[in-house]
Structure 1
Amino acid sequence: MRSLRRSLALAITPVLAFSTVQASATTQQQVDVALEWFDVTATTITAAGAPTQVTNNRTWAIGWLAATRALLRTPTTSRPNDYRDAALAGAIHETLVTLVPARKTELDQSLTTTLARIPDGSSESAGLTAGRRQAQTVLASRANDGLDPASVNVPFTPPPATPGIWQPTPPTFSPATQYGNRLAKPFLLRQADQYRPGPPPALDSSRYRRDLAEVRADGAVDSTTRTQAQTDTATFWLGSSYVLYTAPSRVALAEIARKPLVERAKLIALFHVASVDTQIATSDTKYAYQLWRPVTAIRTTADPTWTPLHTTPAHPDYPSGHNTYSGAAEQVLTALVGARTAKPYTIGSPTAPGVTRTYSDWRQLTTENVDARVWSGIHTRTADLVGVTLGRQVAANTLREADRLFR
């Protein structure tokens, strides 16, 4: 957990620092309540979030879904904006104090800060009550959904060592993780295997041989074919997808600052709903096919001492979870924000301290994730590309079925 908190803190610190400076420079101006509570959510999870990525996506999804539901039900009032600001803050505060109780003192102070800007009255109190009520309703609907850390990492016993079948990987040979995701309750998928892709290429196929040869050459720790720029890309995108995509999702929220508050809350809710459902679908596919990792394949068939640039995560190769996540994120952000941003944006990475990269769209993030996992030596390119497609499919389903969440 300490590693998760440190990683997210590094990734969002530049964003939060900018936000603080911006706020101090506009003390008398209206505060953007959506960005304010985005930062509260991110900071809360950084400080005391779950050790499992999907659990933290679930926390975001519940809080921002509750906020959207409350905003969609804005009553006729003389001060509708007061109602909306209080509703959003109330929904997210109620969610976070329930799911991250260690941060209650800080969360109560954040709520006090928001409410102090809103004139006392019936609109404020109604909004706060509505937000809290919607949070309680969504929390109840997600109780025992199998996305708590213990359920996510329920033990998995791999079958006997067989060519092509996943086994724990060096150097630690750790037990499999994330098996329980495939057993969890989705938000909008009808079932975990709804978009399960076909099987990976056969071990004796030309495609698989080509995939493995590429990883062996370009993904080795001592590769002579991987360039420094490729190594840098692999290192930049090495960390948690949740951490790496927190800054881009904040950029997206700011990008639609002129849209109604309900549409902005919906963006963050659907981003994380899609992320949760994508991780469920990813684990379903990984453990349905149980394809061995490149390090196992290469050591078994070609070079018993081969070592990847980066340590291989403890779950099967096909598909790449980083790329299902990036595919889902790209799909949601493109659909709800647009393919390109109004101006370039810059993000950092906890696995490349001090390094930043600048982008003007969402597609390039996906492209770099595909390459990065090959150059890290931990995924085949087919696993990456199939992952992107799966993530896009699940996210498209989220967008089509979104109304079911807001009834």
Structure 2
Amino acid sequence: MTHRLRSRSALAALGATVLLAAPVTVPQAQAQADSARPATATALDWYDTTAETIAAAGATTQVTNSRTWAISWLAAARATRAVPQGVERGPYQEAALAAAVHHALVALAPDRTEQLDAALDDSLAAIPDGTAEDRGVAAGERQAERLLAARQGDGLDPGSVNAPYPVPAAGPGVWQPTPAAYAPATQYGNRLAEPFLLAEPSQYRLGPPPALGSGRYADDLAEVRAYGSADSTVRTAEQTETANFWYGSSLTLYTEPLRVALDRSTQGITGQTALVALFHVAAVDTQIATSDSKYAYGRWRPVTAIRTGDIAPDAEWTPLHNTPAHPDYPSGHTTYSGAAQGILTALAGSRTEPFDLTSPTAPGVTRTYTAWRQLSEENVDARILSGIHTRSADESGLALGETVARHTLRNADRLLGQ
């Protein structure tokens, strides 16, 4: 049998199908009133400040940090959406954005209060003093307070996210702790958390993974066995680079692409804050939905399947990268990527001018992209090349993320209009 990575054409078709499956409603309130211009300095400054805050004082769990982004920027989106009559629009929105993100971040990352206060002072110094500034600050702080209160106890703190998972008895297809650490399962608590927009974590639960005796399962396992092993003889140097590049945190890897979209946005502050807010709302809800499907099926990882399964068991097989401590199906990296692609495509267009991206897990490597789907395509291949996911887990994850993104966009006005 020849073991080749499958053509990307099927993946592209899947992405197109997901995007076109239902109409997307993009929030348009006051869009015409905002000037069509690149993102304001205030939006970019507070984007960078949010990223720096999370890098310096963020939580140990990715979804908790996505929650911080979502709360901060959703507060800003709500505060900037409606401008009181008789108040100058620009100064009001600039002040509201700065105050909302500042107020939320101080509450969620109090160790950075000094730096955040200095950033707020800088922002307000650039805005003319007066009623617009004062009322904008008040609106931003008010929306941040409301969101912080509404999300209190939502189950997305690190302790709740990593709630204990009782490992089931070993058996064919059943997830078990994986080498080398054989660590306890993580992210089980995500499926018990409160989403932002999903009716419940299981709203878009995937159908089951391929049956163990199916041809698709055999093909999946053969592919990851050949391409994902530490000593693979068929994986190319470029493919190894792809695996390394996408091995790190999705939140970290997508911070720059979202900033590129924000920097190039011509939607004014209303659209710019909504872009960041909806991206991270979708990211949170996708991570919740991912864990729901993961733990509903509890599918074993490739390393367990190859070492102990019925198909040519190899007790010495080792993946290129260490396997994360949670089930295979679906891939969390590709669900995140699918959600990101869905939001960016709807709100920033499917293509953009070339931009460069680096990765902390591939030092010295720079890659250039012109379409958000390119990131998804590489993510799908990368998890197979790392030896830590099957293609079925990756492609199903991509579809799940796109579905949650579409749901987020359809319900955006309900979320932003409060």
For 1:338, give the aligned amino acid: G
The 5 A counterparts of 1:148-163 are 148-163=157-172
Cα offset, 1:78, TM superposition? 4.5
Matched, 1:315 2:326: yes
RMSD of aligned Cα (Å): 0.9
Q: Give the corresponding residue for 2:124.
A: 115
Larger mean CA deviation between 74-83 and 115-124 belongs to 74-83
Q: Give the corresponding residue for 2:357.
A: 347
Cα offset, 1:32, TM superposition? 1.4
Q: Give the corresponding residue for 1:46.
A: 55
Cα offset, 1:79, TM superposition? 2.1
For 2:321, give the aligned amino acid: H
Q: Give the corresponding residue for 1:65.
A: 74
Which one of the candidate residues 350, 359, 369 is aligned to 1:359? 369
Cα offset, 1:127, TM superposition? 0.2
Cα offset, 1:74, TM superposition? 1.1
Matched, 1:370 2:380: yes
Task: Name the TM-score, length of structure 1 as normaliser.
Answer: 0.91
For 2:393, give the aligned amino acid: A
1:222 and 1:69 map into 2 onto residues whose CA distance is 52
Q: Give the corresponding residue for 2:205.
A: 196
The 5 A counterparts of 1:197-212 are 197-212=206-221
Cα offset, 1:223, TM superposition? 0.3
Contact 2:40/2:269, CA 8 A, preserved across alignment: no
Task: Name the TM-score, length of structure 2 as normaliser.
Answer: 0.89
- Render the CA deviation track for 1:106-126: whole Å, top value 9, x for unaligned: 000000000001111111010
2:220 and 2:166 map into 1 onto residues whose CA distance is 27
2:105 and 2:297 map into 1 onto residues whose CA distance is 36
Runs of 5+ unmatched residues, structure 1:
1-29
Of structures 1 and 2, the one scoring higher in RCO (CA 8 A, sep 6+) is 2
For 2:371, give the aligned amino acid: D
Q: Give the corresponding residue for 1:294.
A: 302
1:41 and 1:156 map into 2 onto residues whose CA distance is 32
Aligned-pair identity in percent equals 62
Which one of the candidate residues 335, 339, 349 is aligned to 1:328? 339
Which one of the candidate residues 277, 292, 309 is aligned to 1:284? 292
Q: Give the corresponding residue for 2:267.
A: 259
Q: Give the corresponding residue for 2:398.
A: 388
Matched, 1:226 2:235: yes
2:253 and 2:59 map into 1 onto residues whose CA distance is 16
- Render the CA deviation track for 1:154-206: whole Å, top value 9, x for unaligned: 11011111110000000100000000000000000001111111100111111
1:321 and 1:238 map into 2 onto residues whose CA distance is 12
SS in 1 for 2:357: strand
Q: Give every structure 1 segment of 4 or more consecutive aligned residues whose post-TM-superposition deviation is greater than 6 Å.
A: none
2:48 and 2:85 map into 1 onto residues whose CA distance is 29
Contact 2:87/2:131, CA 8 A, preserved across alignment: no
1:114 and 1:344 map into 2 onto residues whose CA distance is 30
Larger mean CA deviation between 396-405 and 307-316 belongs to 396-405
The 5 A counterparts of 1:60-209 are 60-209=69-218
Contact 2:339/2:405, CA 8 A, preserved across alignment: yes
For 2:361, give the aligned amino acid: T
1:405 and 1:131 map into 2 onto residues whose CA distance is 16
For 1:203, give the aligned amino acid: L
Which one of the candidate residues 267, 272, 279 is aligned to 2:280? 272
1:107 and 1:42 map into 2 onto residues whose CA distance is 12
Which one of the candidate residues 388, 403, 407 is aligned to 2:413? 403
Larger mean CA deviation between 66-75 and 94-103 belongs to 66-75
Cα offset, 1:298, TM superposition? 0.2
SS in 2 for 1:245: helix
2:89 and 2:219 map into 1 onto residues whose CA distance is 60
